[in-house]
Amino acid sequence: MSGVPSRSLLLAAALAFSSWGCTGILLSAANVMENGDAPRIEVVYGAGERQRYDVYRPRGADGLPLPGPLPVVIFVHGGSWESGDKKAYRWVGQGLAMQGFVAVLPNYGLMPATRFPAFVDDVAAGVAHARARVGEWGGDTTRLFLMGHSAGAQITALVAYDERYLAKQGLTPGIFAGFIGLSGPYDFVLDSKLLRATFGGSAEREHDAQPVHFVRHDVPRTLLAMGRDDTTVRPRNTTSLVAHLREVGASVDELWVPGDHGVTVGAFARTSRGDSEVLRRIRGFVLAPRDVRAAKR
């Protein structure tokens, strides 16, 4: 018997997105089952080995790239700040493209070679580079959305809320039409060796790692999705960020769904796209009319 999992077993694994936390198998299953045909190109945004991003451009029924301008979603993967690669999330890029969005999936430096805040600077640089070029791929820079899962949600929340990162690129968070956080740590305790190595060292560093410390009334409109049964990132992170955003009068919507840590990002897997409240809410958030987006600012 071959040691390679059958497609049926991988399908079963992918269908179990909402209840399991074995990320490596989950990613393998989702990529193997993916059959989207959006073309992918890789773009270099810096001198570092991991300073690259993939772009997925949606196709029309005729097989040609959809004409722009189209919404742009920049998705940043998780992996506990020490692992993960954009190639493992091809299914997210294809899933976004199938919604009619231009998808940008950046890599960033990982621990231990890259500590906080350097990996946040990487993502900010990738955002700036993609924004400058996304018109070439049919993207609309006035509808630019930032989305992250898990550690990627913490990183993207800092880019969206802490103005210092984009300021280094000559930009402000006002470039974003919205921020989408999936199962993210936004208000956490450094209660593990990894967290202390990544974010510890001084009270200032620990403070600056927490997105809740940078909310303002004018941060990008926000959608936060969380699995009620998440055992990887405590749901209180989302509860806390929602409370902080509402306290300052910022625009925030929350979505709680049954399932563990993978349920929110799992919405983009081929086996989940047809029946996913998470995907429906994200699509509605991205496609909200301009007057609705302005009213929620």
**Secondary structure (DSSP) of 181-193:** EES--SS----SH
11, 28, 98, 220, 274 from 92: Cα distances, Å: 16, 12, 10, 22, 14
In contact, 172 and 93? CB cutoff 8 Å: no
Residues 6 or more apart whose CB falls under 8 angstroms from that of 31 comprise: 88, 90, 91
Q: Which residues pair with 105 in a beta bridge?
A: 54
- Cα–Cα distance for residue pair 205/9, rounded to 1 Å: 44
CA 91 distance to own-chain centroid: 13
In sign, the C-alpha dihedral spanning 111, 116, 122, 127 is positive
Indicate the DSSP class of residue 59: B
pLDDT attached to residue 85 = 95
Label residue 14 by pLDDT band (50, 70, 90).
very low
Label residue 157 by pLDDT band (50, 70, 90).
very high
Domain boundaries, the chain: 7-295
Q: What is the mean pLDDT of residues 121-132?
A: 98
Report the percent of the chain where pLDDT is more than 70: 85
**Higher model confidence: residue 78 or residue 24?**
78
Report the percent of the chain where pLDDT is more than 90: 76
User: Model confidence over 54-72: pLDDT tens digits?
Assistant: 999 998 888 888 988 999 9
Average pLDDT for the chain: 89
Please, what is the Cα angle at 287 between 92 and 145, to 5 degrees? 55
User: Model confidence over 212-242: pLDDT tens digits?
Assistant: 999 999 999 999 999 999 999 999 999 999 9
- Compute and round to an integer the Cα radius of gyration of the chain: 18
Q: Which amino acid is at 93?
A: G
Q: What fold is seen in the domain 7-295?
A: Rossmann fold (3.40.50)
User: Model confidence over 237-293: pLDDT tens digits?
Assistant: 999 999 999 999 999 999 999 999 999 998 898 767 667 899 999 999 999 987 655
